[in-house]
Amino acid sequence: MRHFDFTPLNRSAIGFDRLAHLFNEAQRAEAAPSYPPYNIELVAEDQYRITMALAGFDRSELEIETERDMLKIVGRRQKTEAQGNFLHRGIAARDFEHSFRLADHVKVVGAKLDNGLLNIELVREVPEVYKPRKIVIDGVNMQLVQPQEERQAA
């Protein structure tokens, strides 16, 4: 297993404590199973699509949920009584659980199962507060931040 030293990053970045944690999780994810196969596609500047190949799964056997910054997709096959006499079985018919970590402000806007492909549409909606803004350097409109005690006294 590879380990990276993030000490130089910590000297030049403020508030990115969880960045090292994300890299460590990504290293552990390398060993994660690749079933079912999936694609992650950049559709437009702030639009993404995850496509999973789910041959043989019905809508009722799939569950998609988001919690905070995680997207979780679970597939549970219904047990069938009739098992065929297979000479070769190449289509996987097993349960799965796959999680994706979503970046800040990325939301799931829809999902569609069509011809064995599950398409999950995602959009990044950055609030105005977090968008870049120009700071004017003139010093005329500059306001000093007063301590809370002084504001209450005024």
Residue spans per domain, the chain: 1-32, 34-127
Structure confidence at residue 25 (pLDDT): 60
Structure confidence at residue 49 (pLDDT): 93
Residue with more model confidence, 148 or 35? 35
Express each pLDDT in 36-82 by its tens digit: 999 999 998 889 999 999 988 899 999 999 998 889 999 998 876 65
Pick the CATH number of 34-127 from 2.60.40.790, 3.30.70.260, 3.30.1330.90, 3.10.180.10: 2.60.40.790
Residue with more model confidence, 140 or 10? 140
Q: Are 116 and 56 in contact, with CB atoms under 8 Å apart?
A: yes
Cis peptide before 36 (omega within 30 of 0): yes
Task: With 0.75 as the threshold, say if the pTM is over it.
Answer: no
What CA–CA distance (Å, rounded) separates 6 from 146? 36
Express each pLDDT in 95-154 by its tens digit: 999 998 888 888 999 999 999 999 999 998 888 887 788 888 876 655 555 555 555 665
Residue with more model confidence, 6 or 125? 125
